[in-house]
Amino acid sequence: MDSNGAVGRPFGEKPIGCIMDSADGYMAVAFLPPGRLPFCVADIPGGTVGEKCAAIGTYISSCDCYAVAGDRGHHHIGLRRFPNWTGMIRERIVNLSGDTLRISTPPPLVKGKVQTAHLMGKRARRQ
């Protein structure tokens, strides 16, 4: 949500993904929009520059350590698609209510605008 209240959904209405948090402070995140286009070739490092840009622009992943105190989480950035944050500590606002987790960011700069990102998910249950 930007400072004007406009809501964007860069990964669509129903992104596909997973967040895994361990009790000892490690986490991994990966998500993307449904319907991403495949590369024209089946060679993993292959693909055109345009295909590679489209793929990286529609995929988020990170592996971090974290600590939570009250409603604040601190991610110690380890591996991140956005290299500028590697090694930094990023604050998050965390709310766990039942099986629903909501993680929000203090407003970063996204596409030239100050925006707040919100990520919501439900606890996965083994079947």
Over residues 16-58, the pLDDT tens digits come to: 988 888 889 999 989 899 998 999 998 888 899 999 999 988 8
In sequence order, which residues have a C-beta less than 8 Å from that of residue 90 and are 6 or more positions away?
A: 74, 75, 77, 105
Q: Does residue 125 have a pLDDT over 90?
A: no
Predicted TM-score (pTM) above 0.75: no
pLDDT at 51: 94
pLDDT at 76: 93
Q: Locate tokens 């380890």: which residue?
A: 78
- 124: Cα separation from own chain's centroid: 17
CA distances from 62 to 2, 40, 66, 112 (A): 23, 27, 12, 22
Instruction: Give the domain 16-122 fold.
Output: Lipocalin (2.40.128)
